[in-house]
Amino acid sequence: MTPTKLDIDRGAFIRRICEHPFDDSLRLIFADWLEENEPEDEQYKTLRRQIADSSIEWRSYLQAYSMGYMVGEYSSRRGLMEEVHMTCADFMRHAEMLFKNNPITRVSLTDRKVWKGFYGVYGWLISRSYERQDTLRFELWKKLEPKIETYPKHRVYESESQAFEELSRACVDYGRELARLPKLEWPSQGAG
């Protein structure tokens, strides 16, 4: 089936939003375009409502489109999918498709647990398999930015929450790379 001009235009809007997921003006322009070109699709109302009230969050199950089975959950904020929760294996399998079609800024790997080291440090170990819950595939591990001294096969952080946050960002970097999106410019901690 050949895509229509509307399909191509819609795809271009989604791509631009995926390239700049923190820019709400792109979402509002997309909402205007949807209202004008696809008024029967109520998504434009959802976009405007969730941008106006950023506390609105939708959670739902995420299905692999072609396989038809559940691979995890997602959260929708500001009108579009922004966060996914899934196993590491499912993430590695579906990351490219997810990031090509959604402005994802947060990933939670539900089967990974932080390694707890001596002296109150936390981190991730490298592995070519998924045998242990504190190990990561090399593709993700190399994208982690350690906050304190790094050992040859460890990425170490001061807290468990910091380790999970860095893992989420590494997953986002990995997914964006697969989808051929530019590296994400993260807003500063104080900004929104």
Could you tell me if 17 and 32 lie in one domain? Answer: yes
Could you tell me if 34 and 126 lie in one domain? Answer: no
Low-confidence winner among 13-17, 55-59, 133-137 (lowest mean pLDDT): 55-59
Helix (H) or strand (E) holding 83: strand 80-86
pTM check: above 0.75: yes
Range of the domain at 158: 115-170
Please indicate, yes or no, if residue 58 is contained in any of the structural domains.
yes
pLDDT of residue 191: 44
Instruction: Reply yes or no on whether the pLDDT at 104 is more than 90.
Output: yes
Please indicate, yes or no, if residue 25 is contained in any of the structural domains.
yes
Could you tell me if 30 and 73 lie in one domain? Answer: yes
* C-alpha span between 5 and 11 (Å, rounded): 10
pLDDT of residue 63: 53
Please indicate, yes or no, if residue 187 is contained in any of the structural domains.
no
CA dihedral 161, 94, 141, 157 (to 10 degrees): 0
Instruction: Reply yes or no on whether the pLDDT at 177 is more than 70.
Output: yes
Could you tell me if 87 and 156 lie in one domain? Answer: no
Q: How many domains does the chain have?
A: 2
Closest CA to 69 of 92, 54, 86: 86
pLDDT of residue 56: 63
Could you tell me if 50 and 143 lie in one domain? Answer: no
